Amino acid sequence: MGAYILRRLLLVIPTLIGIMLINFVLVQFVPGGPVEQIIAQLEDAASATERISGGGGDAGGGGGSQDGGGYQGARGLPPDFIEDLERQFGFDKPAWQRFANMLWNYLRFDFGESYFRSISVIELVLEKLPVSVTLGLWSTVIAYLVSIPLGIRKAVTDGSKFDTWTSGIIIAAYAIPGFLFAIMLLVFFAGGSYFSWFPLRGLTSDNFDELSLLGKVADYLWHIALPVTAATIGAFATLTLLTKNSFLDEIKKQYVVTARAKGLAERRVLYGHVFRNAMLIIIAGFPGLFLSVLFGASLIIEVVFSLDGLGRLGFESVLNRDYPVVFGTLYFFGLIGLLIGIISDLMYVWVDPRIDFESRET
């Protein structure tokens, strides 16, 4: 197993380089980089100042600049200033050199500073991470606690009325878009047209620091109730049906028939024999599900519930062309995703020791 893990870890490096290279090349063709955005902001500000100055001059009877040329900034920015901006952002170097420097820095976990926030990328990620981890972890844990027992019950009672109406509810819940479900929760339970049981935004109240330990826990759970519910709905439906189908496949196998023929109790057959094999794919998929909930639903949920997490950070960074944040978070999360894949394989071995990845041909 050690040789397999080493091979997988060594593959992480070229895979990360490929991910970064593809995205770096794509960014080169996207118009409106950080330099262009600053220039546009300065020119807009200059034009607005000129309009205000011009309007004031007309009102005063023929005012304006003495040389008749209007506001100097409206005639464009000096080329030297633009060159200084490009040098400041590193765009005075060729693309291949910028990419090589970026990779060298990232290998040392030096992600630089945000262009527009005057804070290092690592500090920015650590600042936003708790919100997204809260959503991802709680949503995944709740999905497993509900979906596994429900999926087992549906498999045991396959074709019954319970199985039929629960399947209908699950499919209907899965069909509702995440953002629409989140808005519905706000409208019904957060001060919309009906009830005002939960807060509209944030993870804590303004007086959080003044509360007791028990009060802080209650306040925290009160704030995350709606966001976690909205983030869980998709994973809940998928995991329940996956659990049911996995158990159905195992129940139909010969070893289950043999166990029943020996007179074993149905509960012992189900949880002593079927459970371990059926839960293999479910338990091993925990890291991947957590990752998908963490990064897949975080943007919509964070925007709807006004949570300042990684989803909003990535979205705003792309809009602002804040490349250190964009590429830094891409590298960081790409690395996490690849390591999660290795952890998922280890989970398979932990759940079922009969699996041996080293025995596979390389």
167 Cβ contact list (under 8 Å, min separation 6): 154, 241
Q: How far is CA 84 from the centre of its chain?
A: 35
Q: Mind listing the pLDDT tens digit for each residue in 13-64?
A: 888 888 888 888 887 777 666 666 666 666 666 566 656 665 544 444 444 4
Please give the Cα distance from 358 to 254 (Å, whole number).
Answer: 28
| Mean pLDDT, rounded, of the chain | 75
Q: Does residue 314 contact residue 326 with C-beta atoms inside 8 Å?
A: yes
Res 199: pLDDT:
80
Q: Mind listing the pLDDT tens digit for each residue in 1-18?
A: 677 778 888 888 888 888
Q: Does residue 270 contact residue 246 with C-beta atoms inside 8 Å?
A: no
Q: How far is CA 166 from the centre of its chain?
A: 29
DSSP 113: B
- Note the residue count of the chain: 362
Helices (H), 109-212: 121-156, 161-175, 178-189
Res 39: pLDDT:
65
Please give the Cα distance from 323 to 23 (Å, whole number).
Answer: 11
Q: Which amino acid is at 109?
A: F
pTM over 0.75: no
Tokens of 319: 């809009």
Q: Does residue 24 contact residue 16 with C-beta atoms inside 8 Å?
A: no
Parse the chain into domains and list their residue ranges: 127-359
Which residue's entry shows tokens 């490009």? 86
Beta bridge partners of 190: 196
Res 88: pLDDT:
62
Res 43: pLDDT:
60
Please give the Cα distance from 86 to 77 (Å, whole number).
Answer: 13
Res 66: pLDDT:
39
User: First vs last Cα of the chain: how many Å apart?
Assistant: 13
Q: Does residue 84 contact residue 63 with C-beta atoms inside 8 Å?
A: no
**Is 127-359 in CATH node 1.10.3720.10?**
yes
Q: Which residues of the chain have pLDDT under 50?
A: 56-75, 361-362
